[in-house]
Structure 1
């Protein structure tokens, strides 16, 4: 990838974000949840109080239950079950627990959106999160908890586009059908002049999520090769996990490789240090997890 290509991409995606912001002006981007603000505020203190963070999470009964269910799921393979939120906070650490609850709060932020399309969206988001966390077992630069939240959040722009464009489910389905021929977001741009990755970036930025996570959300359907580098990079680590997870899901569904994977898949595998055979092992692991869920 040349410097010229990189600069062109940076400029283009900046334009995409600006255009998306204009198109979604009438859409209310869910504000950062109060609970998340309080947890991150405590986390940012020189001497954060772990018990206070556990107390904040426990105040939301549904969130606390979802967090414990997730932490104790086969995905994380704990030797002993976590019995309460205080235990979870102390065992996982502040960064990992805040990442998990951020992903789980996403569902709450869009609870007013219902219907068959959103039901399918949430199911796919959950499977994407499991897949990304599975891949993180092979690529320890991204903790599994962080990878799970990344997978859950990567398509968070979809509900925003649905609010602005009632016909969006048809656009999404068309992009899915053509995914092996051209990048997903190319179809969205053709029909809507925006895409869910740029919309997701706006949400992630509004929630003040880490910059590398925001950039991964923005670029997770890019077909450019970020992966030919000697040193690891946090944003590229996340992008590589997301592209691999998307490909594993297509293998799982017996679909042909997406256009993005056809363009950069071999570079992604080389960057992560994975052999092709690992992908099929991941499909088997995912099938087992889904059967246990």
Structure 2
């Protein structure tokens, strides 16, 4: 990718589409979390003011993917069980997802269902690895493809480009760069910056198709960045399997390397796939 061309084209695209505004609850929560000692009651009250979002938060944290020992019956209790930072990251992810959904941008099949699945599975898988928090894995799963609906708003042939990439076994960002001088990962990175998401989450969104390069960093030694990306790729594949998609060109390219990096055998991973798809089917 020619970085200069890509970022120039990105700015042009961002100027021609409407990025959904940052939700008010996210802005208020962000302000509260900047205090030296955030107050749990203030944070809980800010979330609870949006009844629809509060209900969605409770449904999310009480799912088996987050592994709470006891179900949270209130936002205050959920915040106590998960911690302020964890609950604020989950709320941010859900609030921003709702903003994207409400924007009315065109999307591919299962676009909104799949990020939720991927976020949930990522949260569950991340518990197996030190240094990767479930809430950040969840946020990355939700937003790694945040640039896709904006690309679809700008380019009428974008769905065809996605299909062409899968059919030709070419990475979609490579084909996007050739046709549009930018790609959905770069757009997603700028969207996340405009919303004030954590910088390291934005960097992973920017690089979520650079699997070989990221996993090879530091001589291939396991890192938070590397395992976060490996978890994301495993979750993406599990989501495809959940929807009954037998073919997965990306997993064919990277799956073996991802599993080796994570220290998971192919046999054990098949067991994980079965367990996760059952949990997803159970709702």
Sort the TM-score into its range (normalised by shorter chain): 0.7 to 0.9
Provide the rounded CA distance (Å) in 2 between the counterparts of 1:286 and 1:175: 27
- Greater shift, 29-38 or 224-233, is seen at 224-233
In structure 1, runs of 5+ residues without a counterpart are 1-8
> How many positions carry a matched residue from both structures?
279
Describe the shift of the 1:39–1:86 C-alpha distance in structure 2 as closer, same or farther (beyond 3 A).
Answer: same
Deviations 1:152-190 (A, max 9, x none): 111111121122223333333333434xx1212123233
What is the SS of the residue equivalent to 2:186? helix
Give, in whole Å, the separation in 1 of the partners of 2:13 and 2:235: 29
Deviates more, 1:25-34 or 1:267-276: 267-276
Residues 1-293 of structure 1: matches in 2 within 5 Å? 12-13=2-3, 15-110=5-100, 111-113=102-104, 117=107, 120-178=110-168, 181-228=169-216, 229=218, 232-252=222-242, 253-259=244-250, 261-293=251-283
Superposition deviation, residue 269 in structure 1: 2.8
Q: What is the alpha-carbon distance in structure 1 between the residues aligned to residue 157 and residue 130 of structure 2?
A: 40
TM-score by length of 2: 0.88
The one-character-per-residue Cα deviations of 1:45-81 (angstroms, maximum 9, x if unpaired) are: 1111111000000111111000001111122232321
Q: Is the 8 A contact 1:215 1:235 kept in 2?
A: no
CA offset at residue 98 of structure 1? 1.4
Q: Is the CA contact 2:116–2:142 (under 8 Å) kept in the aligned structure 1?
A: yes
Measured after TM superposition, the shift of residue 275 of structure 1 is 2.3
Query: Considering only aligned residues, what root-mean-square deviation do their CA atoms show, in Å?
Result: 2.4
Unaligned runs of 5+ in 2: none
- Counterpart Cα distance in 1 of 2:257 and 2:277: 26
User: What's the TM-score, normalizing by structure 1?
Assistant: 0.85
Structure 1 pair 195/19, CA: closer, same or farther in 2 (3 Å)?
Answer: same
